Each structure stands twice: as C-alpha cells, then as structure tokens.
Amino acid sequence: MEGLDESLVAAHLRGDPAAFRELVRRYGDGVLGYLFRMTGSRDQAEDLFQETFKRVHEKARTFRGGSFKSWLFTIATRVTIDTARRRKRVASISLDRQVDCDDPSPLETVAAQDAADPVDEVVREEQKEQVRRAIESLPVGQRAALVLAYYQQLSYREVAEALGCSVGAVKTQMSRALAKLAQRLPDSVDVTK
C-alpha cells in the first residue's frame, strides 16, 4: 500500500490531477472523521479538511516515503492544533456517528448494536453521551492520541509520527487517557468494546 501511495504522490508531483484525487478518495473519509472528532463541528471539520489537503498539495515534495497515512495525519493534526491556537479555544471530540467513516470505533460500541427494546436504545444512547463527554474533557494531546489510535486505527508508531513525539509518549498519553476515562465513566460503561 505504501508503494502505491508513493507512486500516487510522485504522479501528483508530475502534474497528474487524477493521482491527487485518488489520494483524497483513499484517505478523505478518515481525515474528515478525525477532524470532526477533534473539533466537534462538521463545518469546522470541512474547513480543516480543505486546509489539510491544501497543505498536502503544497508540501507533497517534502514527503520522503514511508507511511503516507502517518504523514497525512501529521498534517491534519498540525492544522487542527494551529487552528485551535488561533481561535484560542480547546478543540473537542464528538463521537456522533454522523461522520462518513467506514470503521466504527470500539469506543462507540458501548452496548449491543442489535437492541430492539426502546429502553435498551435509550440506555445505549445515554452511555454513548457519557463517553462523548468524558472524551471531550481529556486534554488535547490525550484526545488526539486516543482518536488516532481507536478511530483511525493507526499503530502507536504511526500516532507518534503524526503527533511528533515518541512511541513512549503515545503510550503514556493513551494510558493517562484511558485512566481518566475509567475514573469519569460509571462501571456499567465499557469503553473498550
């Protein structure tokens, strides 16, 4: 897969517009989902999506091979943090399922998905809201590590590349995030399902 991404970037640099469209097609939903979860706003996520792929286009020459996905999420993370700093407000994550992501996160599956009983549905929605609020309360670094690892299913190495830190720092952020979630969520809500 990395070889195909590298050849698409090379084709884009040669002026092939179809290559860039293919990169957007392959990674667009994941990037948009990540940005939505980081900001909690569909409009803001779409703006950041545009800025992310604008930077990918502008900085394609700086891609040195390896994992294009990690490189792309590094740019998306920096765009998100830069925008949050400019707006001087903390970004928040929403776990709403309105995002066009193919893979649901284990964090969203807090109860059985096939519950037919309306009472079960209400309980499940309340649990999802508790998880949303708990994740929104995490510091930005912990939120970013959690979203990249769980939602985007990046390895810790890829998360470290995206966040510009060591794998050990990612493990620490994840450990702290999960510990805080365990403290803030009732025992009846299992965020690991």
pLDDT of residue 29: 93
pLDDT of residue 46: 93
Q: What is the mean pLDDT of each run of 10 residues along the chain (193 residues)?
A: 83 92 93 86 91 93 88 91 68 45 45 53 78 82 88 89 91 92 73 49
Task: Evaluate whether 76 touches 31 at the Cβ level (below 8 Å).
Answer: yes
pLDDT of residue 11: 92
Percent helix, percent strand, percent coil in the chain, to nearest 5: 70, 0, 30
pLDDT of residue 2: 63
Domains of the chain by start residue, with CATH: 2-184 (1.10.1740.10)
pTM: 0.65
